[in-house]
Amino acid sequence: MSMIAPDRYVFLYDFLAASILVLANVHGYRDTLGPLVAMLLWYGMILLVTALYHVVLVLALLLSKKHLKFFLYLPFVGLISLSVATLVVNFFYSLLVGEPYTFEMATRHIFFNAIMGILFETIFMLFVFPKVSERIETGGNTEVEPEIRETTDRKLAIAGRYFPVKDIVSISSQDHYLEIVTTSVTELLRGRMADVLGQLADTDGISPHRSHWVARAAIERIGGKSGARTLVLSNETEIPIARTKLAGVKSWYEG
């Protein structure tokens, strides 16, 4: 996120979001402040939310290191950031229009802003975040050919750590943690399997079970001591294959 926030496409997204809010005359700011000041107020709020978003993420990271069971659902990060930003922006709005900064003024529109924030954050995560991440990973060149990208030394990011994809043997989910087995070490880090799978290609390996992912290069054969529904790895570990995925795994492995 620290690499993505200053990207020019993120600033463009913020500018377009602020423009939409001004054109829609949300909260009537354009009528009371004028288009230019309303634009500055909304754009300032978006930048403040972004800054607070990073602060909350850093605090959550520090807490998770001290308390292993600490867990913060990502949308709450946005809600906390937007709620604080609403209080700050309403304070400046009260100064601009000369209204007393009462509790009612401070919390005005906070519920509406929360719903609006979830909408804009969802759009950002679905359409902007992946594109900017890809551009950063490829050094700004988003037109890299697939075969060239596959031969580069790609790394998998988990909880602030980076693992060369070529060194990973398997990844298994345990509650809110992931066990990452590489050719040299085994580590247990906080993370979600869904986030891991989003960084990997079909050519890297396969997820034979919702709680496991294995590298193609690490698979010795299908079927071991536990029966036909397992993948036997080079380190003699047996990974279960879900009944509904058995046919797909066999087709992928033999293909």
pLDDT in tens, 167-224: 999 999 988 899 999 998 899 998 888 888 888 888 899 999 989 999 999 998 887 6
Is 207 a domain residue?
yes
Q: How confident is the model at residue 17 (pLDDT cuts 50, 70, 90)?
A: very high
Is 146 a domain residue?
no
- Specify the higher pLDDT residue, 154 or 212: 212
Instruction: Among 78, 104, 137, identify where a domain stops.
Output: 137
Per-residue confidence (pLDDT) for residue 25, from 0 to 100? 93
**How far apart are the C-alpha atoms of 162 and 147, rounded to whole Å?**
22
pTM of the model: 0.56
CA–CA distances in Å: residue 210 to residues 15, 99, 120, 206: 39, 55, 30, 10
Give the max Cα distance, the chain.
Answer: 77
Per-residue confidence (pLDDT) for residue 255, from 0 to 100? 72
**C-beta of residue 222 within 8 angstroms of C-beta of residue 208:** no
CATH number at residue 198: 2.40.50.1020
Per-residue confidence (pLDDT) for residue 93, from 0 to 100? 94
Q: How confident is the model at residue 100 (pLDDT cuts 50, 70, 90)?
A: very high
Hey, what's the torsion of the CAs at 9, 10, 14, 19, to 10 degrees?
10
**Whether pLDDT at 44 is above 50:** yes
Among the listed ranges 12-16, 135-139, 190-194, which one has the minimum average pLDDT value?
135-139
For residue 192 the two structure tokens come to 């979600």
Instruction: Give the angle subtended at the CA of 238 by the CAs of 232 and 244, to the nearest 5°.
Output: 90
**Whether pLDDT at 20 is above 90:** yes
**Whether pLDDT at 56 is above 60:** yes
Is 121 a domain residue?
yes
**How far apart are the C-alpha atoms of 10 and 12, rounded to whole Å?**
5
Is 84 a domain residue?
yes
Instruction: Among 137, 160, 193, identify where a domain stops.
Output: 137
Same domain, 38 and 79: yes
Is 145 a domain residue?
no
pLDDT digits (tens, 9 = 90+) for 110-129: 999 989 988 998 998 888 88
**Whether pLDDT at 144 is above 50:** no
For residue 141 the two structure tokens come to 């060149």
Query: What is the extent of the structural domain holding 24?
Result: 8-137
Is 144 a domain residue?
no
**Whether pLDDT at 138 is above 60:** no
Report the mean per-residue pLDDT for the chain. 85
Q: How many residues does the chain have?
A: 255
Same domain, 77 and 159: no
Q: How many domains does the chain have?
A: 2
**C-beta of residue 170 within 8 angstroms of C-beta of residue 48:** no
Instruction: Among 79, 114, 137, identify where a domain stops.
Output: 137
Among the listed ranges 91-95, 111-115, 166-170, 251-255, which one has the minimum average pLDDT value?
251-255
- Specify the higher pLDDT residue, 134 or 119: 119
Among the listed ranges 62-66, 133-137, 140-144, 165-169, which one has the minimum average pLDDT value?
140-144
Count Cβ neighbours within 10 Å for each residue of 130-154 and write b for 16 or more, e otherwise: eebbeeebeeeeeeeeeeeeeeeeb
